[in-house]
Structure formats: structure tokens, C-alpha cells
Structure 1
Amino acid sequence: MTYTTLIQVPELKSLMASGSPCMVFDCSFDLANPAWGEARFLESHIPGAIHADLDKHLSARHGSPQPDGTVMVAKDADRPASGGRHPLPNRERFSEWLSEIGFSNDMQAVVYDRNGANYCGRLWWMLKWAGHEAVAVLDGGLQAWQEAGNPVESGEASARFQSNFELKAALARLVNADDVLEQLGQGSQTIIDARAPARYRGEVEPLDPVAGHIPGALNRPFTTNIGPDGRFKPARQLREEFSGLLQGREASGVVHQCGSGVSALPNLIAMEIAGLGRSALYAGSWSDWCGNPQRPVETS
């Protein structure tokens, strides 16, 4: 069986016991303390898991700051696929990393974190973008795994043999600032901003140089998708909530964004769980949008 959105703890246990090709990724991270995720991984993780770090593995390599404040990437091969604070690595570079850790096209990927699915969604989406459909989020994360009495291990991940992961046609839609700007104010596009309400309204901005939001964007904080038990809300409830937010707007026209393209993904995944299809991601998000003073900004 192939899992493409969520996988539950008993299902992961069965999958691991079956011997089917599978790789588990721990994507735990902390924006305020980037070393935190790796430290927590070394302390405890699901047996056999690989650590996928947002800065080291799931974002493009940054070059050296230039006199004008810009950051140039050293080689064309490292050119990011998006802007923003966490620019996407290009698909070719991402596939190289997957091959280095031994991930192959016949594997089921399972991603999790300790952060309410805030960071593991990034790898879920990137694998879809690389053409790999067999990837699922462990519902409830590491907490659910341990609450069920399952074992964890500590230390470095076990060595893996090099594989030859091959890119396929993208199964996820990536848009940039120009795409969003071109459709701004058109009924065919609906932007959903996953940031906290105060940041969306422009009352505070702890990370980016400009406060506010993209004109016309709707606000749905990414934490809204998770229930009191730490798992995604039921599909029916998510569908009702998104239908209430969209107010008749077409789900196919939704573009998800946040601060840097990471916390937007729980919203994107939740829409897919709800049966509303796979919508687009503006990966550069607000950190990319507000970097150009010519782009409009809205507050309130």
C-alpha cells in the first residue's frame, strides 16, 4: 500500500515490519535555535530514521554576502528554485542529496517532526515536487510514536549506500512572486497566509523587514489544522473549515504562503486531506514578497 498524505503509527509499524522499501525522516527544527533539531535527533528518533535539517538539507546553500547586501550563489548548480529566507534548493541538487542518503524511487517516505507537522511538511512537498508521490506525514509526529509505547534510538543515523534517485515530472505546483502579482485581484487566485494573525495584520513582524500581508490574502494560521491530540483534524472537519474560509472560491486557485514557505505546508496538506486537491505553494512567501518595495502591501 502507498501512503500519500498521512500515515498512522500502527501503519508505520506494519510497514517497517513488512520489509517493504521505506525511509523515515526526522525533520524536527527550531527557527530560534537551528542546532536544536539535530541535537534532539541525536538524543532520540524512530529507529532507522534519517535527519533532514531545514537549513542544511531542505534549503538552498547560501553564498557570501556582497557589498550591496545581496547574497550570490557560487555556482549555477546551486542556484535556488525560490527566494525568501529559506530558498528551495533546485530539483537537481535535492535529488543529489536524496541519492547521497540512499533514497530511491521505489521507497515509501515517511516524514515527521516534534513541531506539530510544521517542518516535516517541507520535505513532504519537496518529494512531491521531485515527482515522488509515495510520501506521507506521520500523524502526531514523534510524540504519537512514543505515546504508543514504541522504541526510539539515539546517535547518528546508520550509514546508507549511495542510490540513484531519478527526478520525475513534478507532482506539486510552485509559483513565484511574478506569478502571484500577475494574478493579484483576479478571482482565479486565492492566497492563504499561514502566519499568526498579528503578523498577518502587520501589528508585529519579528523576522522580516516589512510588516503586513499580500493584498487580498486570507489568514489561516497553520496551527489551526492540528487538533488537541496533536494530530491533523478529521477530513470532514478540515473540509468544512476550508469551505468556510474560501466562501465559494475555487480550491484549485489557492496559493499557500507564510513567512518563508515552510509553515504554509500544513495548510496545503490539510486541504489535500480534506479532499480539496493539491494547491500551489509560493515558496518565497512573505520574506520574498516584501523584499521588493514595488510590490503592494496590505495591513489590517
Structure 2
Amino acid sequence: MLPLIEAEELKQLDKSTYTLIDTRGFGNSREHYEQGHLEGALYVDLEDLAAHPEDAANGGRHPLPELKDFAALLGRLGITPQTHVIVYDDKAAANPAARFWWMMKAIGHPLIQVLNGGLQAAVIAGIYPVTGFHSPLQPAVYPIPANYANTVTITEVDRAVKNRGQIVIDVREKPRYLGQTEPIDLIAGHIPGAINVPYLTNLGAGNRYLNANELKEQYQEIFGDVKPEQVIVHCGSGVTACHTLLALEQAGLTGAKLYVGSWSEWSRRDLPVATDEK
């Protein structure tokens, strides 16, 4: 199953055959959801998709939740390992939608897709928002997964940036990568040796992902002889990086890994910081 689904495809699906997830909240704010959401969508906040550490130096600002907690969330949503899940946001999947997709893939859930173009694309296709709240038809029990696959530690990243056979990609906007601005974390700059491929390069017209062939061509040029399995992707806190991991999956370049702690962890560990162009 491809990670992206188009709004026109969504219109053709029987609503009883999938669970729709709206991830537009942040900080347990349901404001956008309450103002209008796609019919039948269940609400998930970014805070549901992360643990809440006291010290971001160990795991970053949005470390992954405990596996038992994520399984419990899925159960409350009525999701089982057999459920086809479709998720959307209003940020071209650059925030919680791609993170939710990646977490589901990382625990081995095969039936998970992101709505290409998000809420805006749905409206253009004639799927209009509704108000009111929706609840799962029936809570479920989701088995606790064994692990989150395809993650790396800060130590592995440190080794990778010094290895010509690996690539570390920073998907943040170039001014943040170059240390010209840093609106969130304590120190500006980037991991020495990491290259900058902003996540926005994954997008084309209408804030939709480029097609699979365009994405494949773009990233194969960057990778050269390096296999996708030797690629590590990060951002500020392990959320937006999932946008690029989704793009790679759509392009058929599977196996890249997520550095969850990302810049928010690295920049708090008294490690080297770069501000030059790689």
C-alpha cells in the first residue's frame, strides 16, 4: 500500500472500511477540529504522539511514547492491526499526520495512509468539513508492539556523519540549518556533516507531494551510491522529518531511519555545532 492517498480516491471508499484520523491539534487544542473536520474523523493531538520529557537533552522535545501508551491510544481509537487508517492534517502532512503515519509503519502496521494535500485537498475534491464530535464505534485492544523500527540514537548519528557510506539529512528550512535563526531550540545551527534537504522540496502544486517518479529522481541524485538503509533523517524534534521519510517511501526508497531526538537533543548535549553550507 502506497503511503499517500488522493482525495478523489478517498471519496470512492466505503466509510465503513477505514478509520479517519484528524491530527491538526497541538498542545491538546481541539480548536481546529471543533471548527470543522472531515466526517467521521477521530481527533489525535501531536501530544498523543510523543512522550513528555523533563529534559529534552535526552530524547529531544518529542520523543516517542512508550509502546504500551501508543498501543492504548490505538485501542481507544478502535484501531486493530487489521484496520485501514487514513490520517490528515492541514500542513501538507508536515506535522502530526506524517508522524502518525511513521509511527504506525514503525510498529509494523501495514494499512496506513496519509491524505495527500490534507484538509485543503479534501475540500477541493468536494469533501466538506462538518462539526460535532465522533467516537470510535467500539474500543479495541491493540497488541503492544515489540519496538519502533528504523530509529537511531545520537551515538549512531555521530558515527554516521563521519562515514562516507552514510548520509544524514536535516529537513529544516535553510535559515535554521545555517544557524541564521532558531525559533524553538536553544542553539542555532546544525549537526556537522549533515546535509540540508528541506522538507518543502517534497512538495509541488497545491501543497501535494511530488509524484513518485519525481521524488525518486530527486533523492537518487542526493543519495548517489548510498543505499536508503544507510540514510538517517532528522529535523528539530523528530516530527517534520517524517514528511521526508514518507516521501522516500512513496518513491520506493525504503529503509531510511529516523533520528527522533533530532536537533533538539543534539543541541543540548554540548556537541559540535556547524553553521556553514555542507
CA shift digits 1:161-198 (9 cap, x unpaired): 22011144557401111221233311232111010101
Deviation at 1:106, TM superposition (A): 1.2
Q: What is aligned with 2:202?
A: 225
Matching residue's letter, 1:174: T
Q: What is aligned with 2:79?
A: 103
Alpha carbon RMSD of aligned pairs, Å?
Answer: 1.9
Q: What is aligned with 1:41?
A: 33
CA–CA separation in structure 2 for the residues paired with 1:169 and 1:35: 27
Q: Is the partner of 1:24 in helix, strand or coil?
A: strand
Matching residue's letter, 2:228: A
Trace 1:240-279 onto structure 2 (pairs within 5 A).
240-279=217-256
Trace 1:104-143 onto structure 2 (pairs within 5 A).
104-119=80-95, 120-143=97-120
Q: Measured at CA, do residues 172 and 5 of structure 1 come closer, stay the same or move farther in structure 2, by a change above 3 Å?
A: farther
Trace 1:198-213 onto structure 2 (pairs within 5 A).
198-213=175-190
Q: What is aligned with 1:88?
A: 64
The TM-score with structure 2 as length reference comes to 0.92
Matching residue's letter, 1:25: I
The answer for unaligned runs of 5 or more in structure 2 is none
CA–CA separation in structure 1 for the residues paired with 2:109 and 2:239: 19
Q: What is aligned with 2:44?
A: 52
Query: Are the counterparts in 1 of residues 185 and 264 from structure 2 also a CA contact under 8 Å?
Result: yes
CA shift digits 1:4-40 (9 cap, x unpaired): 41111222222234x32x111111146xxx466x211
Deviation at 1:128, TM superposition (A): 1.1
How many aligned positions are there?
274
CA–CA separation in structure 2 for the residues paired with 1:14 and 1:257: 35
Matching residue's letter, 2:255: R
Deviation at 1:264, TM superposition (A): 0.7
Deviation at 1:236, TM superposition (A): 1.2
Query: Are the counterparts in 2 of residues 121 and 265 from structure 1 also a CA contact under 8 Å?
Result: yes
Deviation at 1:87, TM superposition (A): 1.6
Q: Percent identity?
A: 36
Q: Measured at CA, do residues 133 and 172 of structure 1 come closer, stay the same or move farther in structure 2, by a change above 3 Å?
A: farther
Deviation at 1:86, TM superposition (A): 1.2
Given candidates 153, 163, 172, the residue that maps to 1:186 is 163
Q: What is aligned with 2:192?
A: 215
Q: Measured at CA, do residues 228 and 10 of structure 1 come closer, stay the same or move farther in structure 2, by a change above 3 Å?
A: closer
CA–CA separation in structure 1 for the residues paired with 2:192 and 2:25: 30
Deviation at 1:229, TM superposition (A): 1.8
Q: Is the partner of 2:24 in helix, strand or coil?
A: coil
Q: Is the partner of 1:237 in helix, strand or coil?
A: helix
CA–CA separation in structure 1 for the residues paired with 2:22 and 2:76: 17
CA–CA separation in structure 2 for the residues paired with 1:200 and 1:10: 36
CA–CA separation in structure 2 for the residues paired with 1:244 and 1:188: 15
Query: Are the counterparts in 1 of residues 93 and 118 from structure 2 also a CA contact under 8 Å?
Result: yes
The TM-score with structure 1 as length reference comes to 0.85
CA–CA separation in structure 2 for the residues paired with 1:117 and 1:162: 26
The answer for unaligned runs of 5 or more in structure 1 is 72-81
CA–CA separation in structure 2 for the residues paired with 1:245 and 1:182: 20
Segments of 4+ in structure 1 off by > 6 A? Answer: none
Do structure 1's residue 61 and structure 2's residue 52 form an aligned pair?
A: yes
* Higher RCO structure (Cα 8 Å, ≥6 apart): 2
